[in-house]
């Protein structure tokens, strides 16, 4: 009986946990972008500064929410340590940054521009392009995660 309890406390990271953490990061991205865009629009009318602030807010929000959820899941598995969290960040962040720069943001930009050219409302085009970009990001980051596991036996 005691062994069963111990086994439950040493849960392995799952794809569900990984994707939940990504989803929380995306929620943080939305919140951070909104807050930064809203605050900067009170300070300036420059579209470039407002858009730049929204991107910075998006990055900060997604990072905070992802880190919080990652730490929560590691604590739940009794694996929370600064070293483990730093290792996870070292393996996750570069891949996430590359996928974001190469795929995520261009998808949002070009797909929303395309939908606008088809006379979609701006809010609808942004929401659809954001959801599409997020779906593509999830697919790519999960392929990366599977590759890490298969090639290097590294779980994130």
DSSP string, 13-69: P-HHHHHHHHHHHHHHHHHHHHHHHHHHHHH---HHHHHHHHHHHHHHHHHHHHHHH
104-135 residue pLDDT tens? 989 988 998 899 989 988 878 888 988 999 99
Which residue bears the tokens 């942004």? 126
Domain ranges of the chain: 1-80, 81-156
77-99 residue pLDDT tens? 998 999 989 998 999 999 999 99
Q: Is the pLDDT of residue 10 over 60?
A: no
pLDDT at 138: 96
pTM attached to this predicted model:
0.82
By CB atoms closer than 10 A (0-12, 13-18, 19+), residue 145 is buried
* Measured distance CA(71)–CA(67) in Å, rounded: 6
* Measured distance CA(145)–CA(13) in Å, rounded: 12
For residue 118, the 8-state DSSP code is T
CA 151 to chain CA mean position, Å: 23
Which residue bears the tokens 């407002």? 50
Residues 6+ apart with CB under 8 A from 62: 25, 26, 28, 29, 32
Q: How distant, in Å, are the alpha carbons of 4, 5, 8, 22, 78 from that of 1?
A: 5, 7, 11, 35, 19
31-40 residue pLDDT tens? 998 899 889 8
Compute how many other C-beta atoms are within 10 angstroms of the C-beta atom of residue 123.
Answer: 8
């Amino acid at each position: 009986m005691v062994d069963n309890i111990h086994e439950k406390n040493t849960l392995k990271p799952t794809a569900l946990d990984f994707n939940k953490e990504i989803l929380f990061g995306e929620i943080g991205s939305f919140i951070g972008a909104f807050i930064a865009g809203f605050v900067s629009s009170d300070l300036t009318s420059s579209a470039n500064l407002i858009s730049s602030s929204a991107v910075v807010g998006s990055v900060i929000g997604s990072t905070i929410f992802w880190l919080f959820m990652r730490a929560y899941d590691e604590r739940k598995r009794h694996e929370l340590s600064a070293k483990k969290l730093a290792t996870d960040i070292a393996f996750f962040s570069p891949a996430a940054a590359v996928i974001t720069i190469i795929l995520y943001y261009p998808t949002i930009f070009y797909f929303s521009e395309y939908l606008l050219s088809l006379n979609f409302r701006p809010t609808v085009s942004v929401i659809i392009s954001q959801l599409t970009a997020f779906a593509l990001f999830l697919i790519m980051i999960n392929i990366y995660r599977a590759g890490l596991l298969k090639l290097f036996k590294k779980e994130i």
